[in-house]
A and B are shown apart, each in its own frame.
Chain A
Amino acid sequence: AQSVTQLDSQVPVFEEAPVELRCNYSSSVSVYLFWYVQYPNQGLQLLLKYLSGSTLVKGINGFEAEFNKSQTSFHLRKPSVHISDTAEYFCAVSDVAGTALIFGKGTTLSVSS
């Protein structure tokens, strides 16, 4: 079975600063990895996903993530955040035969001016 650990429950940053949201996964088989974002009072929206190929994945809104198989990590990064990036971010995993995603507990990103 797979599991996901998001290492930080809250990350406060100032506007225009870089940010990294950390995600580690546990699985005995090959996996697919996802980052979703949830803005207040909304559902989840896909930011990016890793299926195969290049380990650096670029997503929407300037976010990117790097798949590191040896570290079993899939950290999300953005070089310069905006106030509008304030939201809850979820890392998720499924195996190559999976029917659904398994999510981490989420990281609250708070961007202030």
Chain B
Amino acid sequence: ETGVTQTPRHLVMGMTNKKSLKCEQHLGHNAMYWYKQSAKKPLELMFVYSLEERVENNSVPSRFSPECPNSSHLFLHLHTLQPEDSALYLCASSQGGPGNTIYFGEGSWLTVV
């Protein structure tokens, strides 16, 4: 499935760095999501955008800042992260509405040193 593309696939950053994760969907969907996947923990929903407006923010620390400039692109800006933020960050998209399938990208592996 190449409908949702994430870059970079791997990122190593220091705690004082600023970096961004990029996501692009080619499926014509109107909703996009960021999930965090850590070892031994459930996937955590971070942000939801519907029609380019943020509709959900699950108490995510402000060092994570999302941006959705249009319905096809989603960014996650990273600033002064902590080592515990090291994880796989998954972007996803769907045609907004309950019961619709959410399509995932392959993820961006983030390591904070």
Residues of B contacting A95 in the complex (Cβ-Cβ under 8 angstroms): 98
Are the CB atoms of B102 and A100 closer together than 8 Å?
yes
Instruction: Select the stretch in B12-20, B35-43, B65-73, B74-82 that faces chain A.
Output: B35-43
- Measured CB to CB, the closest approach of chain B to A32, in angstroms, equals 5
Which chain A residues (44-90) contact chain B, with CB distance < 8 Å? Answer: 44-46, 49, 51, 90
A42 at the interface (CB under 8 A from B): yes
B21 at the interface (CB under 8 A from A): no
Find B48's partner among A90, A99, A104 (CB 8 Å cutoff): A99
Find A43's partner among B42, B96, B106 (CB 8 Å cutoff): B106
Q: Give bound CA distance, A99 to B45, whole Å.
A: 11
Task: Count residues on chain A whose CB falls below 8 Å from chain B CBs.
Answer: 26
A101 at the interface (CB under 8 A from B): yes
- A residues adjacent to B (C-beta < 8 A): 4, 32, 34, 36, 41-46, 49, 51, 90, 94-106
From A42, which residue of chain B is reached at the shortest CB distance?
Answer: B106
6 pairs of A and B residues whose beta carbons are closest in the complex: A43-B104, A103-B43, A44-B104, A32-B99, A43-B106, A51-B99
Residues of B contacting A105 in the complex (Cβ-Cβ under 8 angstroms): 40-42
Are the CB atoms of A90 and B102 closer together than 8 Å?
no
